[in-house]
Chains A and B, each alone.
Chain A
Amino acid sequence: MKKVNHLMPTNQETILEAKGIVKDFPGQRALDRVDFDVRLGEVHGLVGENGAGKSTLIKIIAGLYQADQGEIFIDGKRREIKNPRDSRDLGLAFIYQELNIVPHLSVAENIFLGRYPLNRFKFVSRARMVEMVKEIPDALTVGADLQMPAGGLSIIQQWKTIINRALALNSRIIFMDEPTSSLTHEEVNELFRSIAHLKSTGKAIVYVSHRMEEVFRIADRVTVIRDARKVGTASIGDMNRGKIYQMMLGRELRDIFPPRDPPQDRVLLEVKNLSRGQVVKNVSFQLRSGEILGLAGLVGAGRTELARMLFGAERKDAGEVFIEGQRVNIETTKDAIHRQIALVPEERRRDGLVLPMDVKQNITLASLKKLWRWVKIPVLSHSKESEAARPFFESVAIKASGMDQQVALLSGGNQQKVVLSKWLCCEAKILIFDEPTRGIDVGAKFAIYQLITDLARRGTGIILISSDLTEVVGLAHRVLVMEKGRIKANLSEADLETVLQLCLGDDAACGGASGPEATA
């Protein structure tokens, strides 16, 4: 991985030190004796799964929350940070995901929000304000008219506006919380250039993210938080992806991904020259019984579209599909299900679940034929419904108050299990998973991995689409790498580094393929 700009040495003085921070929320400990320090001129990556405690730590330093125990030192002096004003006065600036931009105020007004220069009539002086922007030391160029309303700025310009706000306040440490979640690849590069610039002027940046690739590109040091505890802080040179992943998830890689059996020889699915416009071009591959086939690539590489075409949810322009050697024509999702192909969709709340219905109704939705009371008369039997759903409800271990609980009320992981059960109930032989662990917490992730591996062991053919490279490499027997609709590589010995390089290329941006995805 290339790293951007390491101009400044990082062995500099510590300006912020938090010691033994404890924070309790009702019913759970959000932070447990966490230490954290920031040095001048460094980019410090703060990483961890969603809910690990990163944001809580930042909010305590910002003065939005009060720690139950622990001390914060700035320049070696103990400081009480009671509210955001205190942290601002101490030279700390915080930029959160929801950019704090007032859309109808001008760019300059946004930079000096609430601290406007006045003219001699005690009115806000707009002219003076524009000049003051130029006087901000090391200010970033926003690249837009300072008088225009900030609502018209691109996201990256809004970022620069807010960074300038921090600079105008003489902030020395700038905290950025998940900055890239709404940025395009190009904008991410732009932001990283800005960060490098800030660093070169001696500012410290704390970069909060769950995307490992980004942290690797720009951080000098990294602190990992898991389950409210600090796992460790290390210089980025001493780390690798496997190590950080392990620290974030708290297990060895080989424990995260259950052992798998080799695939059988029998070819379940063969795809020949599947194409549609510019989205999917001439894709051919085979899937064996018991095989887990990973599909890697950036978002927009055509993986989801390929999956939807195989499932009959999108039309194809050309290409043939064979199931167990027999040519099949799949025009609709009904055809696909009839051929025992199923798709666990990326957007499970939109495409996977009927939220007002209960668990058993969702599980049996694609296999209503099993619920007929009599053989030839289409009348549903409620007892057969429970009978049909129960084995999957139990074997997949859905945590719900019962099978008649509304699926809307289940957690992400359990909703995903309901979607999976729906396909198990209609005996799918070929299962396509599209981002199966997105938005799912760590514990449920392991359960999903286990289920996928078990299914393969029982002979199901599995296609696994994931932007989490470690997940693809950890689970799959074989990995196809897609780029711009084509299959760019077919890796039988899918080793992590190769996949990473092929996926990310030389000029790789990080928005798409990244570390453990847990965005909801």
Chain B
Amino acid sequence: MTDKIGKLDLRVKFFTSLGKYGTIIALAAMILCFGLVLPPFRSIENLQNLLGQLAILSIFAAGMTCPLKMADFDLSIGAIAAITGIVVSKVLIAGYGIPIGIGCGLLTGVVIGLVNGLLVAYVELSAFVCTLATMSVILGGAMAITKGISIWNVPAAFAFIGRGDLFGVPNRFLVMIGLLFLLWFFHAYTPTGRRMEAIGGNPDASQMSGINVAFNRLLGFVLSGFCSAIAGIVLMSAVMSANPTMGSTYLLDAFGACFIGAATVRIGQFHIWGTLVGVLIVVVAINGLIIMMVPGYYTSMIQGVILLLAVVLSSTGRRLLRK
């Protein structure tokens, strides 16, 4: 019996020491390898390129972390980004100023998040099914608005968000850093953030401690919708066009990043900095593969493997710690 406990101890120790930083070590190792072996990887252009790619995925993933913290999935993030991009471009083309355009875009995300949240937290639908459905509805709406044709004639002034830079640092990277800090502060230092953390740990006990669980879950979806809208705006500004499918590729990567995050430092819990580590791993891996000229279909396979690995790491870690 003591042997068994000893073994379990060892396994827990493994996960709490090496396991805790395993993802970070893996990231460092990957950057080191690519940096040494692939000269193009360490070029300034590629670095800028990396930061740019990092930005959009991070914004998506950070938003997704909010409902995930409370064990709610949001599959509609890509669709929200797409519809936001379309709304903003339409408003800009109609001649309204950039602030109004951005405002309308953010409002779109918040409203959709609100709908998701109401359906999941108050009507008590399964988050997975519900956001899958809203995703389809939004995409359908986006198709109807655009008639399936990409919007190209966005006013050139709007490009500063997605393409501009400040002393060589891409503006969108700055947007991302700002948002991440805000979310981190929100989760770590506000009562609402603390309540969300408690709900993630035990929704029943949270309810029995006077926390309005439904409202906080609703808020999680609103945050996710808001972040997705920002991602949509940045993305639209980067490609200077909008179409209904533009956000869809980010969904899987964002999930992967979040689950890698849940296997980082605080095992089994979703948190912003962990998610950032996850995003870095995903982006660096794909970037390296592209530089190595690995054909695109393999990258998709590898993305899937990363997601699987991340889920395995975060859930086994949590299981072990629960014992």
Contact = CB atoms under 8 A, between A and B. Distances in A.
Nearest to A366: B209
A376 interface: no
B204 interface: yes
Contacts of B202: 350, 353-356
Contacts of A356: 201-202, 268-269
A311 B322 CA distance: 29
Given A350-B204, A380-B191, A357 B198 contact: yes
Contacts of B2: 26
B206 interface: yes
Q: Which of A345, A365, A379 has the most CB of B within 10 A?
A: A365
Given A368-B191, A378-B192, A337 B210 contact: yes
A372 B189 CA distance: 9
A351 to B, nearest CB: 5
A343 B269 contact: no
B211 A334 contact: yes
Interface of A: 26, 311, 313, 332-334, 336-338, 343, 345, 350-357, 361, 365-366, 368-369, 371-372, 378-380, 408, 422
Contacts of B197: 354, 357
A333 B201 contact: no
Contacts of B205: 350-354
Interface of B: 2, 188-192, 194-195, 197-198, 201-202, 204-212, 268-269, 321-322
B194 A422 contact: no
Contacts, number: 73
A25 to B, nearest CB: 9
Contact of B208 (A352, A371, A378): A352
B33 to A, nearest CB: 34
Contacts of B201: 354-357
Contacts of A351: 204-205, 208
Nearest to A382: B189
Given A333-B209, A334-B211, A365-B209, A379 B204 contact: no
B189 A365 contact: no
Contacts of B322: 355, 408
A94 B183 CA distance: 59
Contact of B210 (A352, A354, A357, A366): A366
Contacts of A380: 188-191, 194
B261 to A, nearest CB: 15
B195 A368 contact: yes
Contacts of A26: 2
Contacts of A355: 201-202, 322
B16 to A, nearest CB: 11
A276 B198 CA distance: 30
Q: Which of B188, B191, B208, B210 has the most CB of A within 10 A?
A: B208
Q: Which of A334, A345, A354, A372 has the most CB of B within 10 A?
A: A354
30 contacts: A333-B209, A334-B211, A334-B212, A337-B210, A350-B205, A351-B208, A352-B205, A352-B208, A354-B201, A354-B205, A354-B206, A355-B201, A355-B202, A355-B322, A356-B268, A357-B197, A357-B198, A361-B194, A361-B198, A365-B198, A365-B206, A365-B211, A366-B209, A366-B210, A368-B194, A368-B195, A378-B190, A378-B192, A379-B190, A380-B191
